[in-house]
Each structure stands twice: as structure tokens, then as C-alpha cells.
Structure 1
Amino acid sequence: MRTAAVAGAAVPLAFLVGRDGSPLWQTLRVLVVVSLAAAAIAVILRLGRWWRAGALLLFGIVGTAVGVGIAPAWLAKSGFGAVAAAGVMALVAGLASLAFGLADLGRSMGGWRVWATRAVALLGCAVLFLALGIAVAATNIPPTGLGPETPADRGLAFEEAAFTTDDGATLSGWYVPSVNRAAVLLLHGAGSTRSSGLDQAVVLARGGYGVLLLDARGHGESGGRAMDFGWFGDADIGAALDWLGQRPDVDPARIAALGLSMGGEEAIGAAAGDERLQGVIAEGATGRTADDKTWLSEVYGFNGWIQERVDDLTYWFTDMLTSAGPPISLREAAAQMAPRPLLMITAGELADETLAAEHIRSAVPGNVEVWEVAGAGHTGGLAASPEEWEARVLAFLDRVLVTTSRG
């Protein structure tokens, strides 16, 4: 039964790691999984109790984390297809491996030592499972379809946009032409598409701005591998700015970005290295690397320190699971984009959003403005306070893209 549990976890893992990439890279990854499974089975059959328990716990953590990171999201968005089935199989086999490993651990001990050993092992497994599960979920995103509405349903004339990034991903979007020769790149959040930005696009278009509602890679109709920490943001935004800069209705020196959640984090990061972005509005942006979370221990003490260590593991695992390199911290990016301004909009119902924004603002206090929207949830500023949201956002953009340009 123990070897069957390991094999049961290895089969879906091999399938999942071999889904994309070049044929050589796919083969290498499958061979690594098969080799590790064969080694674990050999340990179970030939070595002692402690080694056996270790091998089972290792495969249990990986299988369970992969299953939890993949199965729920893929079942919800894509139904019971091959990937979802592999996630479920990995989850079941992983849980079985964990159970066998914990049973073997401390079996020869007596009394309280058995349960103390198992409790410590279970705690360690839980930390690794949490970190790896989040990393798997962020790098294995199910297809996310567009919503039923287009800009035309909101009374906006638009055209389809499509272009290719430097690393070969074909991105798609909707473009609402500019009236004032300035344009805003509108970026959605994780697990969403350009459709989620239609309300914001209406406000921007009402202010005379051209609006490019972009599907991040792997989302909506954009190609490429999705990544919900936004680590491909620099490449995606760079290609979008190339496209906008060639538009006859847009002055290339009058482009800004408005990003929601992941999109806001992508916009801040891209602005650090791309001076074509004259300003950024980021709503619900908190962090996408471990360095973005260093304020947690200052605010929450020991509990915050524990969360920082889990985040260290999470982003380390993430780096192992994606071809995108980890970006610089948002705080560093905000400093690098100065003196170009940054407006951060935070949810009044989520204290951590404002705390994260203030941490970013502390790098360049005079260049970053933080507006906490009372009563708003995550990226819900426009819904909670529509008149003030419109006034503040358009005033920021007018100051950055219209008044400055004319002056």
C-alpha cells in the first residue's frame, strides 16, 4: 500500500510537469519525477522505518500540495478534465502517503514521544504544504474566459488589439480610442480577465482617455503560461506600451497605467524600468515577493515573523516552478520610478492593504499617495465611492498626462 501511494502520486505529477515546454524539457521533468518516485519506492522496500517515513512524508507533502493547488481551481473553471483529474489523484495519493508516513514515524516509541514526534512532523508538513500549495496554485492557472460584455455594451466604441511580447506570448485586449491623445493601460487582477475592468474603463473613457484593456498572458484570450503573482508583467506591459506608442491617436509621451490587484503590482514593477509610463494608479496592490512582506513582523510581531518565513518558502518554490524570474520589491520599484507619481488605492475593509501601501510609500513619501476608500473591499473602490473614485483618478491622470504635457 505504501509503494502504491507513492506511485499514485508520481503518475499525476509526471503528467502535470510534462504538460508544456519544449519536448526535451518535458522529457527531463518527467524523468526527474519518475526517478524520485523510484528512489522513494526503493527506500520504502529496503531501508529502515525512519527513511521509509521520510520518503512517504516527502511524497505526501508534494502530492497533497499539488492536488490542493490544482484540483479546486481547475474543477471550478474547467470541469473534470485531465488536469483536474490529475490534481484529484495527486491529492488522494498524497494524503495516503502522509498518513502512512505519520503512522511509521515514531512507531517503535512509547507513550507521549510517539505523538510529540508526529505532531512536530505534522507541523513541518503543514508549513511546507501551505507554501508549496500556494506556489503551485499561482503557477498552474486554469483557462479563464472573458465575460459576456464588451465595451460596446457600455456604450464605448472599441477595436480588438493583439500583439506579441519579446518572449513570444501573443496578448489580446480591447482598445477604446483616445480623445485627448493620452492613454491608460488597464490591467486586471489574478484569475480574472480584461472583462473585470469595464467599469473602470467607462470612467477613463469619460475623461477622454484611450483605454487598452489587456488580458495578462494565459488569461482570457492571451496566449502563454499564466502566472498569478504577475512576474511576467514587465514583458507584457512592455509589449502593450509598444503597441500604444504606435497608435495615431496617442502621444507616446502621455501614457499611464491603472492596475487592479496583480495588475497594479505589475504596473508598479514595470514603471521602475520603463520610463514610457508617466504615472501609475494601483488599486489593491500589496506584494508579489517575499521582500514585499517584510513589514509583517513590524506590525504583527512573532505571528508576522512566522508569516514572513512561510512567504520566503512560498516564493522560493514559485521561483522553481516558473520561467519568470522574481521581480524587485514594490517598495524598490516605487523608489526607482520616481519622480513619476504613484497613486495607491486601498480597501477600507482590509487593513493590510493600507499597511502594505504605507510600507511602499515610506521609500519615497513625496512621490506616493495612498487613498484608503472607506467601506471598500478588495479593488472595490469604484463601487464603494464612485464619485470620489472618478474625481481622484481623473485628477491624477489629468495632472500627469494632460497638464504636465501641455506645460
Structure 2
Amino acid sequence: MPMRRLARILLVIAALAVLGAGALWLAGRELAAPAFRAIGAPPPVLQARQIQLVTTSDVLVSGWWSPGRPGLGAVLLLHGVRGDRRQMLQRAQLLHRQGRGALLIDLPGHGESGGTAITFGWRESEAVVAALEFLAKEVPCERRAVIGVSLGAASTVLARGRPRIDAVVLESMYPTIEDAVADRLKLHLGEWAGGLSPLLLSQLPLQLDITAQQLRPIDHIAELHAPLLVISGSNDRHTPAAETQRLFAAAAEPKSLWMVPGAGHVDLFDFAPEDYTRRVSAFLASRLESPTCIPDVAASFTP
């Protein structure tokens, strides 16, 4: 092959490589871009008030606090990626009808909270700690639970130094960021695209100052030290059933697993409202309905 022709071919290959790397860089920036939006006042049915918390990184976290009846517990509700607290509204209304307190927050980088980027659970976990500390001060005698969906679930498991939790519901959670990225590339581009995941993951230190090793909920799920209910859709292609089974196997007892038949990576409350209500309500009732102390002043509550 003439040298001039070879040089042209190598130049084209180099240009394509640069374009491909640029496209992946832009894709990484888009995936981590904040999802801010106005939320507004809580719906009257919740009888909630707006709150603001501050994380250890001085990020402002916005939310709603709906108090419950004494002795029935309080639940922190955490939405999925690119969502906001309104994603958890149906769950909050269910808890309110049952007399339980409900705390809904916008994770950092979402809704009306602060933050500069979505970090797939790492810095969002600081908001989980701040929210649990709020509950510990607001209702110190109540048992506390967390219901986290996808990003909210990962943020819970990755939270360092979190206050006591008495029950945890994890929905549609990825086991490792490597799995999550490869699954989504395959879903949107085809099986061949899974091999591109290392190129995206290599951007984490540059764009977000974190590493893939920090985003492995499967390595920390056994550290929850609380009764656990793991939920996922049997047809979820973002987090396939085999990955959920790996997560469940890594968790400590007591634990239970519910694979929702036919569900994908969707809102599982919307998909199976009756079964969700029955299973989750029973799980929370068995873990929350006994106060840890006698409060000085009983909280007021109007059903």
C-alpha cells in the first residue's frame, strides 16, 4: 500500500477516534447534568410543610415533611435519577393515610435542591444522612424507614455515617456502576455497545471527581443493619433480574425479595398498586409500629 494512501487511512481513523471520544465525553456530561425544576408547595392532602436541609458539603436540600401519628413511624422517600420528590407522592399519600410520617426530598442535582452534578448516589448519599438526622431530631421516639427508588436506593446504601434505620425498601437498584452503564448502552445501542462502558466510566474522576469503585452498592448492602425488602421488575432491562438476585444474595438477614411479575424499569407502585400497597405496608407495619421512647409532647395529627 502506498505510504500516502496509508497516511490518509490513518488520518481518517484518528479523526473518527477523536469524534467518538468527543461524543462519549458529551454523553457523559449530559448524563451527569443536573435536573433542576420548580416544585412548589406540597399538596394540601399531605398536611406537610416545606423544609430545607444542608449536607456536609453545604448543599441545600429541599423537601416536604408530613408528620404522622405518634408510634407509627416515619419514612424517608427518595426518588429516582432525573426525578424529584413528586415521584414519591403516591407513596407519601399512602403513608399519610396509614398515619405514618413521610419526608420527601429532592436529591442533590434534582428538583429544587442544590448541587452541581448528578453523581449516581455518591454525593446524593449526603442528603440521605441529612434527612435521617432531621427525622432523628424531629421525631426522636419514632422508628425510621427508607423507601428508595433506583438512584434513591443507591444513595441510601452508599450513605456513610447515617443514623439508625429500622427498615429499608430498595427498588430497582443497580449493583455496580459498571453494570448500570453497560446495561444502558446495550439497551439503547445494542449488545456490542457494552464494550464502550469503560470509556464512559473513565470520565468519572475527570468530570465528577469520583471513581467507579465508589459506586458499588453491592459492596455495602450488607452494612444496612436493618430489615430489608428488595423490589425489582422481572422484565427490568436497566437492572436485569440476575443483577437483583446478586444484590439480594449480598444483603444480610433479615431480608425478603419481591420480583414484580412483568414489570420493567418503571414506577412499581404505579405498575402493581394493590400488591405494592399490601406488601410494603405489611413490611413497614411489622418494623415501625412501636416507639423507641415516650415523647415529651405528643405530636398533633389530623387524619
User: Retained in 1: the 8 A contact 2:204–2:211?
Assistant: no
1:190 aligns with 2:76: no
1:346 aligns with 2:235: no
CA drift of 1:275 comes to 4.8
Deviations 1:233-278 (A, max 9, x none): 221111111111111x4525x11111122111111222x6425122
Query: Residue 25 of structure 2: which of 132, 142, 153 is its match?
Result: 132
**2:128 maps to which residue?**
237
Query: Residue 280 of structure 1: which of 168, 189, 206 is its match?
Result: 168
Q: Which amino acid aligns with 1:313?
A: L
1:141 aligns with 2:34: yes
User: Retained in 2: the 8 A contact 1:287–1:330?
Assistant: yes
Q: Which amino acid aligns with 1:318?
A: L
The whole-number CA distance in structure 2 between the counterparts of 1:231 and 1:401 is 28
1:269 aligns with 2:158: yes
Query: Number of residue pairs matched?
Result: 284
**2:299 maps to which residue?**
none
1:312 aligns with 2:201: no
The whole-number CA distance in structure 2 between the counterparts of 1:357 and 1:130 is 31
CA drift of 1:116 comes to 8.0
The whole-number CA distance in structure 1 between the counterparts of 2:147 and 2:3 is 57
Query: Residue 146 of structure 2: which of 250, 254, 257 is its match?
Result: 257
Deviations 1:190-221 (A, max 9, x none): 11211111111112222322110001123222
The share of aligned pairs that are identical, in percent, is 26
Secondary structure of 2:202's counterpart equals helix
Q: Could you say which structure has the higher strand fraction?
A: 2
The whole-number CA distance in structure 2 between the counterparts of 1:188 and 1:398 is 22
The whole-number CA distance in structure 1 between the counterparts of 2:243 and 2:122 is 19
Deviations 1:320-339 (A, max 9, x none): 2125666351111112224x
CA drift of 1:353 comes to 3.5
CA drift of 1:361 comes to 1.6
Q: Which amino acid aligns with 1:285?
A: M
1:214 aligns with 2:105: yes
Counting only pairs closer than 5 Å after superposition, residues 10-159 of structure 1 correspond to structure 2 as 108-109=4-5, 118=12, 122=16, 125-126=19-20, 128-129=21-22, 131-146=24-39, 150-152=42-44, 155-159=45-49
CA drift of 1:125 comes to 5.0
User: Retained in 1: the 8 A contact 2:218–2:250?
Assistant: yes
Structure 1 residue ranges without an equivalent (≥5): 1-105, 297-302
The whole-number CA distance in structure 2 between the counterparts of 1:359 and 1:344 is 11
The whole-number CA distance in structure 2 between the counterparts of 1:107 and 1:260 is 57
Q: Which amino acid aligns with 2:103?
A: L
Query: Residue 207 of structure 2: which of 321, 333, 340 is its match?
Result: 321
CA drift of 1:355 comes to 2.4
Q: Could you say which structure has the higher helix fraction?
A: 1
Q: Which amino acid aligns with 2:107?
A: A
1:390 aligns with 2:277: yes
Secondary structure of 2:289's counterpart equals helix
Q: Which amino acid aligns with 1:133?
A: L
TM-score under structure 1 normalisation?
Answer: 0.61
Secondary structure of 1:277's counterpart equals coil
CA drift of 1:376 comes to 2.6
**1:45 maps to which residue?**
none
**1:381 maps to which residue?**
268
CA drift of 1:347 comes to 2.1
Deviations 1:359-379 (A, max 9, x none): 212223744433121233323
CA drift of 1:181 comes to 4.5
The whole-number CA distance in structure 1 between the counterparts of 2:12 and 2:232 is 42
* CA RMSD across the alignment: 3.4
TM-score under structure 2 normalisation?
Answer: 0.79
Q: Which amino acid aligns with 1:158?
A: A
Secondary structure of 1:226's counterpart equals coil
User: Retained in 2: the 8 A contact 1:346–1:373?
Assistant: yes
Q: Which amino acid aligns with 2:36?
A: P
Structure 2 residue ranges without an equivalent (≥5): 184-189, 294-303
Return closer, same or farther for 1:109/1:163 CA change in 2, 3 Å cut-off: same
Secondary structure of 1:109's counterpart equals helix
Secondary structure of 1:145's counterpart equals coil
The whole-number CA distance in structure 2 between the counterparts of 1:312 and 1:210 is 42
Q: Which amino acid aligns with 1:263?
A: G
